[in-house]
Structure 1
Amino acid sequence: MQLTIDSLSVHYAGQTAPAVQDVSLSLPAGQIGVLLGPSGCGKTTLLRAVAGLETVSAGSIALAGEVISRPGYAVAPEQRRMGMVFQDYALFPHLDVGRNVAFGLQSLAKGERQKRVAEVLELVGLGGLEGRYPHELSGGQQQRVALARALAPRPQLLLLDEPFSNLDAGLRDRLAQELRDILRCHGTTALLVTHDQHEAFAMGDRIGVLYQGRLQQWADAATLYREPATAFVAQFIGQGMLVPALQDPSRSGWMQTPLGAISGPLAAGDSCLLLRAHEIVHDAQSPLQAELLHKAFRGSHWLYTLRLPTGETVLAEMPTDMTHAVGERVALRAQPGQLVTFSDPVQKAA
């Protein structure tokens, strides 16, 4: 079922600024949407508003064209036909897996209920574990039980609030892909909240980046990375850095930056250039020398933190055979791909 959010705001009593402000997005049926952003940006509040757990102060939420929330009106959460997977899974410890999954199926006859429980447990890879209890399962298995319970009533929309945050990194990556495959197989429309970019990129057909309650951009992962709509998105996604840039008065089609001259036009009114860590490379012939402040081994590369002569700090990916010590000078050169410029790097909440 398609989810449509139109000019939505949520305001908590006693707070001067809305927790969510003027958010609009559309999630087509069968697709997975992800709400991404730093802590306190409003993503969980937005998810709870969709679930009917927060009161809407402006705008509307519609499912399959039917308005389910607007100021002064809200369909009760239990009548929205939505499933929800919580951060801590919220399994009933005194119930076995089968009864946990069957919790929302009380309207079905016993035989139908048992059949549906078996179907969804098979779907999530837990067939035959109906008699186990939550404490007898691993964290990944508990997450699958929570997912099975949410899918069992055949929800119109599945909501997931940081579903992998309690799992270690390796298991999180694997389960994110498994969950995407399960939702695809089931044809379920889903909206997920996370602060993890890798998780968002692995899961989402559409990703919404939020900051200070406002939706900065709603797009697929490639568009967010290559064509960020705001300075905040540019810096938040993919270790983006905005460095000062000025049109070179002596050469048309060139700009001057703290990393030297870069070929390319600077749009009228723009004053900074987006660079990513892989676009700053080591060049022994370069006159630009930056001080190495910190280095972190990332397996396929070193991630250097460097201070430029002008005082700006930048990140750079370096080959694993680089042996620079902290405090040494490193010769650098900027090698940007697609040029993306902005008017003001300070306007993170644009």
Structure 2
Amino acid sequence: MVPDGQMAQGTQSKRTAGVTFAARLSFEDIRHSYHGKETIKGVSLTAEPGEVLCLLGPSGSGKTTLLRIAAGIEAQSHGRLVLNGQEVAGPNQFLPPEKRGIGLMFQDFALFPHMTILDNVRFGLTALPAREAVQEAMAALERVGLSRYAESYPHVLSGGEQQRVALARALAPRPGVLLMDEPFSGLDSRLKDTIRADTLAILRETRATAIVVTHDAEEAMRMGDRIALLKDGRLVQAGTADDLYRRPRDLFTAAFFSEINEFEGAVKRGVVETPLGPAEAGHLPEGAAVSVAVRLSGVSVREEGGAIPARILARRFLGVVELLSLAVPGSEQPVRARIRADLLPQGIRDVTVDVNPQAILVFEKDTQTSYMKSTS
């Protein structure tokens, strides 16, 4: 067995992935209900040709349902799905999955245990003559570096290798859009980085449009050209990783992309007072109730010289960084900070705190609209 993260090369060099005709896939005001409960609430979103679009959100946010609607496994109750300008699902048309030119890679890989690796990969190539199907399947296996396992069975492969076989099977028909449902969730955390990078390189080679479902913000930032953040069946915000991290529209988005301390307050003379100091409130009206988010990475802790006295309640070593829990005057809840490891002497309790103003975000409570633009 070849170790995960190392492409098996065999006697020939790995073949470059065959190029597909990347498609544009648009969700237009999509709604979906399940047992009377609305699970998708008017989502409009477009995956542009050749881009990797990540659908991000917590469990139950509607990510996988959108993917199943795109694949044709589920039907929406309202709205249209449009592929390259043609309606494939909507009031006037419903194409079955096999006629959409859309590939789907399942979370559990869904390999057939009784079939060889080669037969698994050529399973979706039924429209081709047998010899040509074998050639295309072998080419797909070569792209992922596993051609030497063509006559083996799935049980002899590791999880990472099975993931690559599933990717080869999904890409073999050269779909215009490839859908991937949490493709790395079953892999060892130590191997995810390498296998993600391998997968992304293959997607770039094929130039296929890809929609990837994930609940991990960092994974979405690593993979996605753009990210669509969902909550409770609604699209909260879509844009680049930089957009969502630095310019979150609401507190939910800010908290999804970074760990935060959260405080409540009201605007007085253009600022909000918090236990970590005053926060500018932009153009919010006097007296407006607000939520203030302070990123953990923006809280600096040192022995002395900081603006705010604090006491260390707990300290957790995480390798490169340490996670601190601090008691700060005026805060009923401990304030958390993430600092470089070994910055503070062991055993120290009394410290001081400063906050980077660029790590502070202020949101009006009624609308949850951000009036601060973080650049940290």
Q: Same fold (TM over 0.5)?
A: yes
Q: Does 1:288 align with 2:308?
A: yes
Distance (Å, rounded) in 1 between the aligned partners of 2:58 and 2:311: 29
**Secondary structure of the equivalent of 1:78?**
helix
Distance (Å, rounded) in 2 between the aligned partners of 1:307 and 1:346: 31
Q: Does 1:169 align with 2:185?
A: no
Q: Which residue of 1 aligns with 2:157?
A: 137
- Measure how far apart 1:308 and its partner are: 3.5
**Secondary structure of the equivalent of 2:222?**
helix
Q: Which residue of 1 aligns with 2:119?
A: 99
Structure 1, unaligned runs of 5 or more: none
Contact 2:56 2:213 in 1 (8 A): yes
**Secondary structure of the equivalent of 1:39?**
coil
Alpha-carbon distance change, 345 to 336 in structure 1, aligned in 2, over 3 angstroms:
farther
Contact 1:55 1:71 in 2 (8 A): no
Q: Does 1:192 align with 2:212?
A: yes
Q: Which residue of 2 aligns with 1:258?
A: 275
- Measure how far apart 1:218 and its partner are: 0.8
Equivalent of 1:299, from 316, 319, 323? 319
Alpha-carbon distance change, 209 to 307 in structure 1, aligned in 2, over 3 angstroms:
farther
Distance (Å, rounded) in 1 between the aligned partners of 2:311 and 2:234: 37
Alpha-carbon distance change, 243 to 325 in structure 1, aligned in 2, over 3 angstroms:
farther
Q: Which residue of 1 aligns with 2:42?
A: 22
Q: Which residue of 1 aligns with 2:292?
A: 273
Q: Does 1:157 align with 2:177?
A: yes
Equivalent of 2:362, from 332, 341, 344? 341
Distance (Å, rounded) in 2 between the aligned partners of 1:39 and 1:291: 36
Equivalent of 1:240, from 250, 260, 270? 260
Q: Which residue of 1 aligns with 2:233?
A: 213
Contact 1:34 1:208 in 2 (8 A): yes
TM-score between both structures, scaled by the size of structure 2: 0.84
Contact 1:57 1:71 in 2 (8 A): no
- Measure how far apart 1:244 and its partner are: 3.3
Contact 1:227 1:340 in 2 (8 A): no
- Measure how far apart 1:338 and its partner are: 6.2
Equivalent of 2:73, from 37, 42, 53? 53
Alpha-carbon distance change, 307 to 54 in structure 1, aligned in 2, over 3 angstroms:
farther
- Measure how far apart 1:291 and its partner are: 4.7
Q: Which residue of 1 aligns with 2:244?
A: 224
Contact 1:272 1:345 in 2 (8 A): no
Contact 2:281 2:362 in 1 (8 A): no
TM-score between both structures, scaled by the size of structure 1: 0.90
- Measure how far apart 1:19 and its partner are: 0.8
Deviates more, 1:285-294 or 1:93-102: 285-294
Distance (Å, rounded) in 1 between the aligned partners of 2:41 and 2:237: 14
| AA partner of residue 273 (structure 1) | V
CA RMSD, 1 decimal: 2.3
- Measure how far apart 1:341 and its partner are: 2.1
Q: Deviations over 1:22-49 (max 9, x none)?
A: 1111111000111111111111111111
**Secondary structure of the equivalent of 1:170?**
coil
Structure 2, unaligned runs of 5 or more: 1-22, 370-376
Q: Which residue of 1 aligns with 2:15?
A: none
Distance (Å, rounded) in 2 between the aligned partners of 1:44 and 1:306: 39
